[in-house]
A = this chain, B = another copy of it.
Amino acid sequence: MRNKLRAAVVGATGVAGQQFLLALSGHPWFSVSVLAASERSAGKTYGDALGSTGWCSAESPPPEALPLCVQDASLLSETAGRDFDVVFSALESEAAKVIEPGLAQKVPVFSTASAYRYEPDVPILIPGVNPEHAPLLLVQKRRRGWNGFIAPGPNCTTTGLAICLRPLHDAFGLRRVIMTSLQAVSGAGRTPGVLALDIVDNVIPYIAKEEEKVEAETRKILGQYRGPGEAAAGSGEAGDSEGRIEPLAIGVSCTCTRVPVLDGHTETVYCATEKPAPLSAVRQALSSLGQSLQGLGLPSLPAQLISLREEPNRPQPRLDRETGRGMTTVVGRLRPETVLGEHGVKFVLLSHNTRMGAAGGAVLTAEWLLKLGYFG
């Protein structure tokens, strides 16, 4: 393949930024050449900015990152395109709102921040799930006059849910979804993070804004893309000149809770479907997701996007979160669901919130868009 693209990791000192470094370590297509963070860390080497206690993964930091000089994220747009070809952003949402557009003017930006997820010209992409939304990036570039684009990934709790719902919707037609999440503490990062004082021997049945995000993002990811000028089928309306995503018009009702688990979000999901959904067909649908990607040679793509477990007591976060190096959604406890609607299925899913649900998913999306020619 071509020479490696030079990547900048922005927000590099936080938990999500560290995950980007791990996801990109030894990557065959991208090499991390620039690290940026807040002004406080700027000018220090990455090793010094972390200090002796700032790295928070059992995997060691990539040694080649330690001597890099951390740059001030707010000034990074000046060197975009010249010093780096692509950005992986782990910024907090407020900072992302301000900083990411300047970077996207010049290079593609893959972000774990929520800042731009709900803009009409921004798709929330998951490879294998909504490839038909990718062309909206071209609309975004044209409309905003950018050379690059912003491609945010979904909220970590949305990721596993959308991955499982896609094949179910395609096969059986979703009517309604109810979901309760049992989320890991790493999803809250370190600032402020979840205090041990608050979660040991406890459940916190609330995560601010999470339920709204999951409900809106799920409908958007499963929605239908109308290209510029393309009318909704049978609508008689003129198409939108800009192109847009029409959210899937189904109800999604969530309760998001925090539990004393380090990594891996567990979700109990109840789906009502239009058509009968016998378990054998459900298994077939879930197992087949993402097969079209398998030939592309994407380095971060796991062998399966969804892995089914037949044991009655799986998936479990501690035992199953590393499946496919954290890139596989693990599903178990498949049972018919007949209370939520005439037909349907219920199940439990597990998705690694800092891998496929954050940095790993963003890197996979970058690989996929690069392969599709979106890097221009």
Asked if A180 and B177 make an inter-chain contact with CB atoms under 8 angstroms apart, the answer reads no
Given contacts A193-B197, A199-B196, A337-B253, contact A316 B182 (CB under 8 A): no
* Closest chain B CB from A16 CB (angstroms): 13
| B-contact bits for A305-337, CB 8 A (1 contact / 0 none) | 000001111111111101000000000110001
List residues of chain B with CB within 8 A of the CB of A313.
52-53, 204-206
Task: Confirm or deny: A346 has a beta carbon within 8 angstroms of a beta carbon on chain B.
Answer: yes
Asked if A348 and B315 make an inter-chain contact with CB atoms under 8 angstroms apart, the answer reads no
List residues of chain B with CB within 8 A of the CB of A333.
205-206, 255
Chain A count of residues within 8 A CB distance of the other chain:
61
Task: Confirm or deny: A287 has a beta carbon within 8 angstroms of a beta carbon on chain B.
Answer: no
The 5 closest A-B pairs by CB, nearest first: A251-B339, A253-B339, A180-B180, A52-B311, A255-B268
Closest B residue to A252 by beta carbon equals: B339
Asked if A58 and B259 make an inter-chain contact with CB atoms under 8 angstroms apart, the answer reads no
- Residues from 241 to 266 in A contacting B, C-beta threshold 8 Å: 251-253, 255, 257, 259-262, 266
Given contacts A199-B196, A206-B313, A261-B202, contact A180 B268 (CB under 8 A): yes
Task: Confirm or deny: A279 has a beta carbon within 8 angstroms of a beta carbon on chain B.
Answer: no
* Closest chain B CB from A19 CB (angstroms): 13
| B-contact bits for A187-208, CB 8 A (1 contact / 0 none) | 0001001111111111111101
Interface core residue of A53, A56, A201 (most chain B CB under 10 Å): A201
Contact among B180, B200, B206, B340 with A340 in the assembled complex (CB-CB below 8 Å): B340
- Assembly CA distance A333 to B313 (angstroms): 29
Asked if A197 and B52 make an inter-chain contact with CB atoms under 8 angstroms apart, the answer reads no
Given contacts A206-B313, A257-B268, A311-B52, contact A200 B262 (CB under 8 A): yes
Task: Confirm or deny: A270 has a beta carbon within 8 angstroms of a beta carbon on chain B.
Answer: yes
Closest B residue to A311 by beta carbon equals: B52
Closest B residue to A315 by beta carbon equals: B205
- Assembly CA distance A161 to B13 (angstroms): 36
Asked if B257 and A266 make an inter-chain contact with CB atoms under 8 angstroms apart, the answer reads yes
- Assembly CA distance A316 to B55 (angstroms): 13
List residues of chain B with CB within 8 A of the CB of A204.
313, 316
Given contacts A190-B195, A197-B194, contact A255 B205 (CB under 8 A): no
List residues of chain B with CB within 8 A of the CB of A15.
197
Closest B residue to A175 by beta carbon equals: B339
| B-contact bits for A119-151, CB 8 A (1 contact / 0 none) | 000000000000000000000000000000000
Task: Confirm or deny: A214 has a beta carbon within 8 angstroms of a beta carbon on chain B.
Answer: no
